[in-house]
Amino acid sequence: MPDSFDSVYPDFLRTGLEKLSRLDAQSELPSLFAALEHYRRDLHTQDSVKGILRVSQSYINGLNLFAKCGFWTVNAKDFNFELSLVANEEDGAVMQSIVDGQIKAGRFAFALRQGAPVFFALGLEPQTERGLLHSLAISTQVVGMFGGLLRREVAPAQEVAFSLLSTLLGMSADALATLRRTRQLTSQIETLQSLLPVCAWCKKVRNDSGYWYQIEKYITANSATKITHGICPDCEEKFLKPKV
Q: What is the pLDDT along the chain (244 residues), one digit of tens a residue?
A: 445 555 545 665 665 556 555 545 556 667 778 888 899 999 989 999 999 999 999 999 988 899 999 999 998 778 899 999 998 889 999 999 999 999 999 999 999 988 889 999 987 666 688 999 999 998 778 999 999 999 988 766 788 889 889 999 999 999 999 998 888 877 766 665 667 788 888 888 887 778 888 888 877 777 777 888 888 888 878 877 776 5
d(CA 240, CA 244): 12
The backbone region for 210, taken as left when phi is positive above 0, alpha when psi lies in -120 to 50, beta otherwise, is left
Which domains, and CATH codes, for the chain?
9-190 (3.30.450.40), 205-240 (no CATH)
Is the four-CA dihedral 101, 79, 114, 90 of positive or negative sign? positive
d(CA 11, CA 83): 26
SS3 label, residue 141: strand
d(CA 148, CA 56): 13
pLDDT of residue 145: 96
Spatial contact of 5 and 45, defined as CB atoms under 8 Å apart: no
d(CA 244, CA 233): 18
User: Residue 212 belongs to what H/E stretch?
Assistant: strand 212-213
Spatial contact of 132 and 120, defined as CB atoms under 8 Å apart: yes
pLDDT of residue 134: 96
pLDDT of residue 65: 92
pLDDT of residue 227: 81
d(CA 63, CA 156): 9
> What distances in angstroms separate CA 61 from CA 44, 70, 151, 217, 233, one per listed residue?
19, 11, 12, 60, 71
SS3 label, residue 74: strand
Spatial contact of 145 and 112, defined as CB atoms under 8 Å apart: yes
